[in-house]
Amino acid sequence: IKTIGVLTSGGDAPGMNAAIRAVVRRSISKGLNVKGIYKGYNGLLNEEIVDLSARDVSDTISRGGTILYTARCSEFRTAEGQQRGAEVCRKHGIDGLVVIGGDGSFAGAQKLAALGINTIGVPGTIDLDIACTEYTIGFDTAVNTAMQAIDKVRDTSTSHERCSIIEVMGRNAGYIALWCGIANGAEDILLPEKYDYDEQKLINNIISNRKRGKKHHIIINAEGIGHSTSMARRIEAATGVETRATILGHMQRGGSPTCKDRVYASMMGAYAVDLLADGKSDRVVGYKDGEYTDFDIDEALAMHKSVSEYQFEVSRALSI
């Protein structure tokens, strides 16, 4: 391996810059060249590729977003797009590629590896929904951002003695919702994984909490369930309790990464370079049982994980 390329793909996540910085500096420390590819697989196909030096990543570790920009690329889902991606890598002398993103991005990495480009995936998504790893870059910052926002909604909710439905991101996964539900002491948590959604049960719970003297009723609703605004209207009509919906949206993806995200991103970025330097390809970096580790991409993409039953059960017990 002589030259490593790095790109970020899919939704941005705080800590991606720390991972890029680690890829660049770990590569340079091993005597390798590094090229940055802008805008994910789109930039690869359009050859938006630049040389990166150690100084190019100065002052980036604390910045949210991704300095390489990111995109979702439909063309890269086609065999022609993947073939062209591999050709562009060869043309620019990129013989190892680090892809920072989620499962969708790893599917692209898997195809490039099959076409002879040594490729490693680094898990970067706020959703925590990559099965082979207990940690994904951006989750910690996103849940802290959401938690702080929900604390603020709770202040006004209590003052008005309202019910508040707060919708958090996570696509089809409920990790952000469950973590915020516990951290914010929510009365109800609606998760896509536990979708036996019974609105009457929710309504009864709001009414009985009110009778037991609760001043607010916080419902954390996962994006995978959605429809928070219409849900609020129905709940208000059925309970007589004023109800508002707040959709936190993309603010959850921004901001300076937490210490945890910076450290895990730095370690995972460096680990990806180490794998390539050791001649490995077609792997995804993960964190399991207290260690940084790696998995075959096919195996990683075939794995499944779900929210913890125990965590959910405890969250219910603590919401009385």
- Is 250 annotated among the ligand-binding residues? yes
In this complex, which beta carbon is closest to ligand F6P, that of residue 169 or of residue 186?
169
Question: Least distance in Å: CB of 134 to ligand F6P?
Answer: 18
E strand intervals along the chain: 3-8, 33-37, 49-51, 96-101, 118-123, 163-168, 188-190, 217-222, 243-247, 283-288, 291-296
In this complex, which beta carbon is closest to ligand F6P, that of residue 26 or of residue 253?
253
Q: How far is the C-alpha of 235 from the C-alpha of 256, rounded, in Å?
A: 36
Q: How far is the C-alpha of 280 from the C-alpha of 261, rounded, in Å?
A: 25
Burial 58-67 (b: 16+ CB within 10 A, else e): eebbebbbbb
Classified as helix, coil or strand, 163 is strand
- Is 273 annotated among the ligand-binding residues? no
Question: Least distance in Å: CB of 320 to ligand F6P?
Answer: 30
Please work out, in degrees rounded to the nearest 5, the angle formed at the alpha carbon of residue 148 by the alpha carbons of 145 and 152.
Answer: 135
Instruction: Give CA separation, 165 vs 114, 216, 252, 257, in Å.
Output: 45, 11, 16, 26
Question: Count of alpha carbons within 13 Å of 23, Cβ hemisphere only?
Answer: 32
| Burial of residue 104, with CB atoms counted within 10 A of its CB: 0-12 exposed, 13-18 middle, 19 or more buried | middle
Q: How far is the C-alpha of 105 from the C-alpha of 224, rounded, in Å?
A: 20
Q: How far is the C-alpha of 72 from the C-alpha of 132, rounded, in Å?
A: 22
- Is 73 annotated among the ligand-binding residues? yes
In this complex, which beta carbon is closest to ligand F6P, that of residue 223 or of residue 282?
223
- Is 75 annotated among the ligand-binding residues? no
Residue 298 known to be catalytic: no
Question: Footprint of ligand F6P on this chain (CB under 6 A)?
Answer: 11, 102, 125-127, 169-171, 223, 253
Question: Least distance in Å: CB of 167 to ligand F6P?
Answer: 11
- Is 170 annotated among the ligand-binding residues? yes
Do 169 and 253 meet the contact criterion of CB atoms below 8 Å apart?
A: yes
Backbone phi, then psi, for 283, in 5-degree steps? Answer: -125, 155
Q: How far is the C-alpha of 172 from the C-alpha of 307, rounded, in Å?
A: 11
Question: Least distance in Å: CB of 253 to ligand F6P?
Answer: 5
In this complex, which beta carbon is closest to ligand F6P, that of residue 125 or of residue 239?
125
Sheet holding 243-247, edge to edge: 188-190, 217-222, 163-168, 243-247
- Is 25 annotated among the ligand-binding residues? yes
Question: Least distance in Å: CB of 255 to ligand F6P?
Answer: 13
In this complex, which beta carbon is closest to ligand F6P, that of residue 171 or of residue 214?
171
Q: Which of 127, 129, 140, 261 is catalytic?
A: 127
Sign of CA dihedral 20, 23, 28, 29: positive
- Is 104 annotated among the ligand-binding residues? yes
In this complex, which beta carbon is closest to ligand F6P, that of residue 127 or of residue 140?
127
Question: Least distance in Å: CB of 93 to ligand F6P?
Answer: 32
Annotated binding site for ADP: 21-25, 154, 185-187, 212, 214-216
Catalytically active residues, by annotation: 127
Annotated binding site for Mg(2+): 103
Annotated binding site for substrate: 125-127, 162, 169-171, 223, 244, 250-253
Annotated binding site: 11, 21-25, 72-73, 102-105, 125-127, 154, 162, 169-171, 185-187, 212, 214-216, 223, 244, 250-253
